[in-house]
Amino acid sequence: MPIESSYFSVRERIETACAKAGRSSSDISLIAVSKTRTIDEIASLYSLGHRDFGENRLQEAIPKITALPKDITWHFIGTLQSNKARRIASVFPFIHTFSKESQIEEAEKAKTTVQAFIEVNIADEPQKSGVSLEKLDEFHAMLLQSSYVHFRGLMTIGPAGASADQMRSYFREIKRLTDQFGAKSISMGMSGDFEMALMEGATHIRVGTAIFGSRD
């Protein structure tokens, strides 16, 4: 499918899900996950008016950020290595994957405002990054102490292989915790489950495959 059609189809699915949920699609940020995609592919989406893009590796993102127009909002959605957090904070206004104190400390050194999500390891998967539910309050309190890294809300990547019902209950839990913190933003939902995430309160959905086609 040409990128125009898949993009507008995703846009339409967002409209439909929002209408069903009684929400306004203008409150939703669609982040086009452009990891592994070329500058040309990103430019064609840009020419359709799209401005929010998500990348997961600094080295891959730098040439794209350098080559593409400056009014793009770049979202970092990958593993946040502490030793790269300062550089990442200096080029990505949004970082979705804070889960360690050292990442915050390093990002602060960039001395530039960062919109921050805390990544929550909602299913307590051993090999997965993210803060456990147990440590979430403490980590959240720590993040609130920073000067440049501004807490926006929670982010989660549902476990691969979870059933739709399980995923829904994880999304609900993230929504409940976000409300409890008095936060407004929720980064959840990917190509396979963004409609459900929208039903459950997501404000930032991260969609790659459904827009660009499958990755090799």
Ligand X SMILES: *Cc1c(COP(=O)(O)O)cnc(C)c1O
Distance in angstroms (rounded) separating the CA atoms of residues 156 and 123: 10
> Is 38:216 a contact under the CB 8 Å cutoff?
no
Binding site for ligand X (CB under 6 A): 33, 35, 56, 77, 157, 190-192, 206-210
Complex with ligand X: residue 6 or 169, whichever CB lies closer: 6
DSSP string for 123-157: T--TT--SB-GGGHHHHHHHHTT-SSEEEEEEE--
For ligand X, the closer CB: 117 or 151: 117
Residue 147 Cβ vs ligand X, minimum distance, rounded to whole Å: 26
Nearer to ligand X, 112 or 191 (CB): 191
**Cβ closest to ligand X, residue 201 vs residue 208:** 208
Shortest gap between Cβ of 152 and ligand X (angstroms)? 16
Rounded to whole angstroms, what are the CA distances from 175 to 50, 172, 188, 204? 26, 5, 10, 12
Please give the backbone phi and psi of residue 53, each rounded to the nearest 5 degrees, phi first. -130, 150
Give the contacts of 202 (CB within 8 A, at least 6 positions apart): 28, 171, 186, 187, 188, 189, 194
CB of 50 to ligand X, least distance (A): 15
Question: Which residue lies nearest ligand X, judged by its C-beta?
Answer: 208
CB of 4 to ligand X, least distance (A): 18
Q: For CA atoms 207, 210, 213, 216, give the dihedral sign.
A: positive
If the CB atoms of residues 159 and 192 are measured against ligand X, the closer one turns out to be: 192
> In this structure, are residues 31 and 75 in contact, taking their beta carbons and an 8 Å threshold?
yes
CB of 65 to ligand X, least distance (A): 17
